[in-house]
Amino acid sequence: MGQVSTIGVDLAKSVFQVHGADTSGAVLFRRKRRRHQVLAFFSSQPPCTVAMEACSSSHYWAREITKLGHTVRLISPAYVKPFVKRQKNDAADAEAICEAAQRPTMRFVAPKSEQAQAAAIVFRARDLLVKQRTQIINALRGHLAEFGIVVAKGPARVPQLVRAVEDAAEPVPELARPILQMLIETLRGLDEQVTRLDREIAQRAKEDETARRLMTIPGVGPVIAVALAALAPAETFKRGRDFAAWVGLTPLQRSTGGRQKLGATSKMGERTLRRLLIIGANSILLRVARHGAPAGSWITRMLARKPPMLVRVALANKMARIVWALLARGEVYRAPAVGA
């Protein structure tokens, strides 16, 4: 029996499946391990490559197994799926992970440190609270519409919703007012919590040198800068084009027979960064709409011949490439010279 070269691990809450193979891919063992047995199992194995899907808890296990002297490789689940043979079960998944990790052209995900994951929690929490706030606003609009009170969409219209509930002259049944008032109180609490997180993000932007450099890019404010500093793994990409593709700002390609067929944006990678970059690009377009742009500039030519949403995504793509350059090279944004 050869020496183990690669171990594929199918992660779970309680029962983990491991699949060991030598350098030729021959199976050496297939075993189940309980959660408390995992680290003891890997401490008894010779140093080798340990592969896992990049999913919940994978970065924690990557850090712990790396401390035992192994080389950990995290693989996107989309890249593992083609290696699953027929039936879908834990053993087949572990074997597929092991086989995928042995491919010479496989792309891996860089394990995150505890600090990087902790820094990202503020954005996850803010996104969750903003979604809940939107749900409450939509619920208020929907309930009031049942009584003939129609209010336009958007957070700016919330005061109208509140007045409709609190004004006794409005045709809202008294039976419904206390319940609607509870929703309003919940909405106010969510507003306060989002404001607290915004202050936390602004403070981090002042203290973080990388975030300050990123804020020199047009359209990048404190929220976007801190998010990029915490979530963007720029060191894993060789060029800005690869980083923009990872964020999901490049078109899907369905080419065949030598014919190029490009579709909508791929929407792959980190969706938080993609959404924030598009919001930043939109702020630039709003500024251009108010104050104009130099004649013959890229953005002027794009707006003249392309739909606004396409221009937003294209501009976000350019911003992503600029972000990679600043993160990878430690530079500050330099505005392009305007021709005479």
Where is 239: in which H helix or E strand? none
Position 337 scores a pLDDT of 60
Q: Coil, strand or helix: which one is 13?
A: coil
C-alpha span between 79 and 53 (Å, rounded):
9
Q: What is the pTM of this model?
A: 0.83
Strand 6-10, strand 15-21: pairing: antiparallel
Position 321 scores a pLDDT of 94
Q: Which residues of 244-266 are buried (b: 16+ CB within 10 A; e: fewer)?
A: bbbbbbbeeeeeeeeeeeeeebb
Block means of pLDDT (10 residues each) for the chain, 340 residues, are 89 95 93 96 95 94 96 94 91 96 92 89 91 95 93 89 90 92 96 95 90 92 90 86 91 84 81 91 92 84 90 93 91 68
Where is 301: in which H helix or E strand? helix 298-305
Position 340 scores a pLDDT of 39
**Cβ 33 vs Cβ 124: under 8 Å:** no
DSSP letter assigned to residue 256 = B
Q: In this structure, what are the phi and psi dihedrals at residue 65, rounded to the nearest 5 degrees?
A: -75, -30
Q: Coil, strand or helix: which one is 185?
A: helix
**Cβ 263 vs Cβ 250: under 8 Å:** no
Position 123 scores a pLDDT of 86
